[in-house]
Structure 1
Amino acid sequence: MTGVQPERGAGQEVISDAPLLRVRNLHAHIGSVRGVVRAVDGVSLDVGRSQALGVVGESGSGKSVMARAIMGLMPPRSGRSGEVLFQGRDLLTLGRKELEEVWGKQIAMVFQDPGRSLNPVVRVERQLTEGMRRHLGVSKSEAHGRALDLLKEVGVPDPERRLRNYPHELSGGMRQRVMIATALACEPDLLIADEPTTALDVTIQRQILDLLRRVQVERGMSLMLISHDLAVVAGRTDRVSVMYAGKLAEIGSTRQVFDAPQHRYTHALLGATPTIDHQRHTPLRLISGSLPPPTNLPPGCRFAPRCEYALDACTDPGPVMESVGSDHDVACLNRASSDASSMVGDLVGR
């Protein structure tokens, strides 16, 4: 797999050629009454130091399960295999106590629903300062000052008052900002943001996304931004990976993938995304069919049953990830033409 050299984003400086996070052949399965759900099936990717990686795909493609498998937050009746090397240390080999030393201090996560992630009966200050006092060993007064600074950094007005609030006393956008502040409290090297703007209105969505990008650049940390919305990652990431039914379809620099999508699924996703210059009263292009059931996945390319360009070889034996350029890999046997997309400028501008 190519692309281990991290791409520099605006205002960023790459510290080392070695990726901060290196995922190799990651598998994650969950037991269900209908059988084993192979939610993540052989995913390999890198997150460079001070780099933002976008992970996109339809709901049910395995993005969130991949993030939880990396963190070690899988539900009961589940399993993981492969390698998740964080700063050279395989997280899959760590026990619960060892992982607790990684969570928050080295890797932090912003979940989809802050209303469920924040403790409803604990004031904001305690939720912000608990991790600091445990991992950083700061005093109560110092933790209070750092909590105030964090709320200011993420744009929470009247932070002294908000520290005394319970989560239910805050708006959805305010709760998400508190969640981000909590994730940043111990100055992690990697922040995983899993659909961080779910259920927020579009104005607040943009504020939260711009906040994540700004904080990531200013702190020089790495970011994994997970979303089903291509426009979310287009202007806020350095690299992007496209997932479908538990597998990676395409990965490369954001500009390469959006300017010249090679996988037919990536091309179809871009074609189905509305843009500002879309002609009025004309239907959007749709992707026919739906994701295959995760307990009964098709052989070969998972997208083949929905792809009008599928070949016999797409299902037997199916494609493997191949390099199509510098830092651009794709798993497709009948790739789209290099000029397939003409909408990247519209998406990046959103």
Structure 2
Amino acid sequence: MSDDSLLQVRDLHAYIGSPRGVVKAVDGVSFDLCAGEALGVVGESGSGKSVMARAVMGLMPTRSARTGDVLFKGRDLLGLRKKELEEVWGKQIAMVFQDPGRSLNPVVRIDRQLTEGMRRHLGVSRSEAQTRALALLKEVGVPDPERRLRAFPHELSGGMRQRVMIAVALACEPDLLIADEPTTALDVTIQRQVLDLLRRVQTERDMSLMLISHDLHVVAGRTDRTAVMYAGRLGEIGTSREVFQHAQHQYTHALLAATPTIDQERHGLLNVIPGSLPSPTDPPPGCRFAPRCGAATDACLVGQPPMVEIRAGHAVACLNPVDAKEAEFVGR
């Protein structure tokens, strides 16, 4: 554990009750996030990325349970009551959700949604909150910010709503910003603008960032470290350069191989990962990727591989890691 760790997650489990049984959405995840660091979390849809982020914040649905340790600045968030968590949300940890159209209140003007948190957590006056709100909209690149402050969410485009969501998340100067699939449903041009904006404000404010995405290219080049999740568990974690250029987990390697590249044959077949994610209510006993893995052995079907550091800062949970020479990839 580093001395400058802002967030320490240890053996985190997040289970959710369902008509089909208990969903083991997050099943023993551990990692650190340092102050001022950008961490990318990638994996297929259904791998547990979003639930992990919500479990960290305490935004779990009813009929759910969390165990493990989530230490933020040394304080155990899992032991806090809702009223205590409300003092953490926004002020210390903020979240940008997938769909800003559903996250913003449709009947409340933008200025109120920006200023409420500031007045509650920072204790500023109404006029000061309005001034700060205007500055925030300018910072995140909202055009004509004076007019946008008086607008309702439905009067803004999807890209503008996402920028407003980022402004809301930044309003109380949080130490950690969690961006959960922040470019969902945006066209590629707006996606890049939003991602570049997140990286810029994270760097300028010396803020920690957790960027969650199923798209490898989203985190490549925009994060310091990358964690790869599969079926509720971490398979690999390391510096983004190490993970993308020298992937060692068979799942990470398969993901990279399935990523289209600009020099790929125009009408050629795309690489795919055979099979599908295991049932979250009845996962296999061994490595959860083993049923889809061409390198799996009998040992992979029996016990979960431990997370082992193969290089300084690069760890993998795989009994048959990929030769680094076979896993080269350069993110765009």
- Class of the TM-score when normalised by the shorter of the 2 chains: over 0.9
Indicate whether 1:96 and 2:78 are aligned.
Answer: no
Alpha-carbon distance between aligned partners in 1 of 2:266 and 2:328, rounded to the nearest angstrom? 18
Indicate whether 1:341 and 2:322 are aligned.
Answer: no
Alpha-carbon distance between aligned partners in 2 of 1:242 and 1:258, rounded to the nearest angstrom? 11
Alpha-carbon distance between aligned partners in 2 of 1:317 and 1:160, rounded to the nearest angstrom? 59
Quote the offset at 1:278 in angstroms.
1.1
Amino acid at match of 1:219: R
Alpha-carbon distance between aligned partners in 1 of 2:321 and 2:22, rounded to the nearest angstrom? 31
Amino acid at match of 2:329: M
Counterpart residue number, 2:22: 36
Counterpart residue number, 1:323: 309
Amino acid at match of 1:340: E
Quote the offset at 1:315 in angstroms.
1.4
Counterpart residue number, 1:159: 145
Alpha-carbon distance between aligned partners in 1 of 2:14 and 2:196, rounded to the nearest angstrom? 31
Indicate whether 1:181 and 2:167 are aligned.
Answer: yes
Structure 1 SS opposite 2:5: coil
Match for residue 129 of structure 2 among 143, 155, 158: 143
Matches within 5 A, 1:204-223: 204-223=190-209
Indicate whether 1:71 and 2:38 are aligned.
Answer: no
Counterpart residue number, 2:97: 111
Matches within 5 A, 1:1-350: 4-5=1-2, 17-344=3-330, 347=331, 349=332
Quote the offset at 1:18 in angstroms.
2.6
Alpha-carbon distance between aligned partners in 1 of 2:31 and 2:102, rounded to the nearest angstrom? 29
CA contact (8 A) 1:21 1:84 kept: yes
Structure 2, unaligned runs of 5 or more: none
Offset from partner CA, 1:68-100 (integer Å, 9 cap, x none):
000000001001000000000000000011000
Sequence identity (%):
74
Structure 1, unaligned runs of 5 or more: 6-16
CA contact (8 A) 1:275 1:343 kept: no
Alpha-carbon distance between aligned partners in 2 of 1:49 and 1:309, rounded to the nearest angstrom? 37
TM-score (norm 2): 0.99
Structure 1 SS opposite 2:324: coil
Structure 2 SS opposite 1:20: strand
Alpha-carbon distance between aligned partners in 1 of 2:89 and 2:95, rounded to the nearest angstrom? 8
CA contact (8 A) 2:247 2:328 kept: no
Amino acid at match of 1:260: H
CA contact (8 A) 2:248 2:327 kept: no
Alpha-carbon distance between aligned partners in 2 of 1:278 and 1:331, rounded to the nearest angstrom? 30
Counterpart residue number, 1:8: none
Alpha-carbon distance between aligned partners in 2 of 1:53 and 1:174, rounded to the nearest angstrom? 25
Quote the offset at 1:113 in angstroms.
0.2
Structure 1 SS opposite 2:46: coil
Structure 1 SS opposite 2:325: coil
Alpha-carbon distance between aligned partners in 2 of 1:40 and 1:115, rounded to the nearest angstrom? 27
Offset from partner CA, 1:101-127 (integer Å, 9 cap, x none):
000000000000000000000000000
Amino acid at match of 1:62: G
RMSD between superposed Cα atoms in Å: 0.7
Amino acid at match of 1:60: G
CA contact (8 A) 1:262 1:330 kept: yes
Q: How many residues align?
A: 332
Offset from partner CA, 1:226-246 (integer Å, 9 cap, x none):
000000001100000000000
Quote the offset at 1:284 in angstroms.
1.5
Quote the offset at 1:300 in angstroms.
1.0
Amino acid at match of 1:157: P
Alpha-carbon distance between aligned partners in 2 of 1:77 and 1:166, rounded to the nearest angstrom? 34
Alpha-carbon distance between aligned partners in 2 of 1:79 and 1:318, rounded to the nearest angstrom? 22
Alpha-carbon distance between aligned partners in 2 of 1:256 and 1:136, rounded to the nearest angstrom? 40
Amino acid at match of 1:108: A
